[in-house]
Structure 1
């Protein structure tokens, strides 16, 4: 086996297409020889870890990683962990997040206990816990996982803020489907910009002042930050205080009067569409944006996507710093959530357009989050 792998790796740099090499790995795993695939991936990792190595090594490594991590069976999981530990990216948070998403989508929970008993990174374990939670697994009742999930030694990890069970408003989460050839996922963003004008009637907007701070803007935009940081996106996140309570029917008129960059020209050159949505819709949109990313990036995957969605919801609901997950959920349910869209030049109108507004429980604060991205 070692000679065969050495021969494959030695000839990789001369190939214009690595499909045949990947097919060899597929065939070996189908026969139950997952160790061969892992050894091939490790040899590629060793090669492309050296300076100047070609793309073929990375391509085969990534294929083998997806192959092992998405093919069912505890032995495939063990070999995937052995492979990822050899990667030049071993210990990198992005790789751990990616690996956790792959494993959770491809394996039953009982086959994943090796992750919590071997030498896996703690970050991988934390991410995998919440990838499983998102898929409805009772992690605190699953043998082999429960002991780690309940332990206090990861109490300071940022993901520990999240509850170990799903809220009912999270049950509509759009999770990606991973496979050897890649992944697919839905895009639950509003594509109806300007189709139905918002009806404002005689709604009255009280005097308003902007209260946005840099910290507030960052917190509001947490779920879409990856669009701006890793792709071509832009974000507008702002908070406004009302002198008197603002009623929900007046929100369309208020949005048009706030001087939002994303709505410049709306109502005159193009229609503004505003719809009241349940908070579950807002969470679903924010989770998709955070977990799957924009046009040119892969997002933060399930665990950190879940956290970022809640962070944006909490900021839009004006939750106090240090609020628990339960307190945040209670407050966001008391807000009135609106989705909005417009055919303005600010939005790219390609597929990644978000417009959300949250009217606080006392109706004296309106938080607005808009984001757009393009390929």
Structure 2
């Protein structure tokens, strides 16, 4: 088998189609030989890893072999996945670890995934980054990682709490209901798209004819960055644009005055293209707001793949916290309480600012005292 693997690796740059190679690996996996796929990936990496520029076959084959192993349940397949990740580029970066964790969490039972947290051979030991990402991927799928046998010791230990993901609670907040998560196969994946009007609450808010308070813009660079955390990948890695702004109000803002107040603000995303064509404004819940933020961060926009579940969750919390007006270093408990106490609104892509393709978000948060209003609008296109 070693000679066969070396021959495939040597001929890889000359291949126009990888299907014969991947089908061979899939057949062997089905017969109970997952080591072939891992050995082939490792051999290809050793030959081309530092010289892979311009060799699409290298990156494509490595990804296909990784997906083949990660999406096929079974402890033996998991062990070979960890070998592949430990000895190739598939586990080197934060983004790679997030990708592997998402694949594993979708396909493997928690009792098998305990191996990731408890060790393994020296050639198949998971990194702390992979463990941190996997803990949150499983949490998002309803697994109690702090009580799951094999995971509890690692997730309850204090040593990893300095990790960026350690800022997040290891239990789902009240607003983290039914997160939209991908479903993977060896050949692809699927996602739901929860954008547009978040109409899980009452009907559209009707504008009051009564006067509304004059708002003063309070947007800072730091606040805009934090509010935009969940959609920054749309503007930085795709074709998206984002508007994130905050306003102070001299007196409490009643719900019926929110549409008129938004009309009065210098918001590019809320400006109407013509008289009588304004975006509808809906009351929504913190859950609906978080669901859109999480999907935007984890799935990405038109031309990128997003942050996956773990870091997507972190970015969604950052945006939700900033929209809710909590201090930068607030605890997860304080963020949850503030988000649930705010009044939330969603507005659709009814203006020319939005691309009106598929990726459109319009969210408004008003604090319980009615004195602060925050807006996040984002849109992306292919």
TM-score, length of structure 2 as denominator length: 0.94
Pick from 248, 259, 272 the counterpart of residue 266 of structure 2. 259
SS at 2:348 equivalent: strand
Give the Cα separation in 2 of the matches to 1:161 and 1:9.
Answer: 43
Deviates more, 1:132-141 or 1:11-20: 11-20
Separation of aligned partners in 2, 1:349 and 1:53: 35
What SS is found at the alignment partner of 2:252?
coil
C-alpha contact (below 8 Å) 1:84/1:90 kept by paired residues: yes
Residue pairs, 1:136-215, within 5 angstroms: 136-190=142-196, 199-215=206-222
Change (3 A) 1:203 1:47: farther
1:19-52 CA distances to partner (integer Å, 9 max, x unpaired)? Answer: 1111111111111100011001112222331425
Structure 2 equivalent of residue 117 of structure 1: 118
CA contact (8 A) 2:282 2:346 kept: yes
Alpha-carbon separation, structure 1, partners of 2:126 and 2:333: 30
Aligned residues of 1:47 and 1:53 also touching (Cα < 8 A): no
1:58-77 superposed matches below 5 A: 58-77=59-78
Once the 2 structures are TM-superposed, how far is the Cα of residue 197 of structure 1 from its aligned partner? 8.1
Structure 2 unaligned spans of 5+: 120-124
1:305 aligned to which of 306, 312, 324: 312
Q: CA RMSD in A?
A: 1.8
Structure 1 residue 72: Cα displacement: 0.3
Secondary structure (helix, strand or coil) at the match of 1:358 reads strand
Whole-Å separation in 1 of the counterparts to 2:179 and 2:302: 20
Q: Is the 8 A contact 1:230 1:296 kept in 2?
A: yes
Mapped partners of 1:158, 1:201: distance in 2: 44
Q: Contact between 2:204 and 2:283, CA under 8 Å: does it hold in 1?
A: no
Give CA-to-partner distance per residue, 1:231-268, whole Å, 9 cap, x none. 11111000000011111111111111111011223562
Matched, 1:325 2:329: no
Q: Deviations over 1:138-188 (max 9, x none)?
A: 111111111000001112112112111112321220011011112210010
CA distance in 2 between counterparts of 1:269 and 1:13 reads 59
SS at match of 2:160: coil
Q: How many residues are aligned here?
A: 373
Query: Which residue in 2 is equivalent to 1:130?
Result: 136
Q: Is the 8 A contact 1:358 1:368 kept in 2?
A: yes
Mean Cα deviation higher: 179-188 or 161-170: 161-170
In the alignment, the residues of structure 1 paired with residue 349 and residue 35 of structure 2 have an alpha-carbon distance, to the nearest angstrom, of 54
Cα gap change, 1:65 to 1:342, in 2 (>3 Å): closer
Matches within 5 A, 1:25-64: 25-51=25-51, 52=53, 54-64=55-65
Task: Work out whether residues 116 and 131 of structure 2, in 8 Å CA contact, stay in contact via their aligned partners in 1.
Answer: yes
Contact 1:48/1:58, CA 8 A, preserved across alignment: no
Distance in 1 (CA, whole Å) between partners of 2:228 and 2:50 is: 38
TM-superposed CA distance for 1:324, in Å, is 1.1
Aligned mates of 1:31, 1:19 — CA distance in 2: 18
What's the counterpart of residue 281 of structure 2? Answer: 274
Tell me if the contact between 2:323 and 2:374 (Cα under 8 Å) persists in the aligned partners: yes
Mapping for residues 275-294 of structure 1, pairs under 5 Å: 275-294=282-301
Question: What is the DSSP-based 3-state SS (H/G/I as helix, E as strand, rest coil) of the residue aligned with 1:141?
Answer: coil
Aligned to 2:89: 88
- Post-superposition shift, 1:17? 1.0
Would the aligned equivalents of 1:132 and 1:139 in 2 still touch at CA under 8 Å?
yes
Report the 3-state secondary structure (helix = DSSP H, G, I; strand = E; otherwise coil) of the residue aligned with 1:168: coil
What is the distance in 2 between the residues matched to 1:23 and 1:371?
Answer: 41
Aligned to 1:352: 359
Which residue does 2:122 correspond to in 1? none
Gaps of 5+ in 1: none
> What secondary structure, in the 3-state scheme, does the structure 2 residue paired with 1:166 have?
coil
TM-aligned CA distance change 1:144 to 1:322, over 3 Å: same
In structure 1, distance between residues paired with 2:332 and 2:274: 38
Normalised by the size of structure 1, how large is the TM-score? Answer: 0.95
Aligned ranges 1:231-270 → 2 under 5 Å: 231-265=238-272, 268=275, 270=277
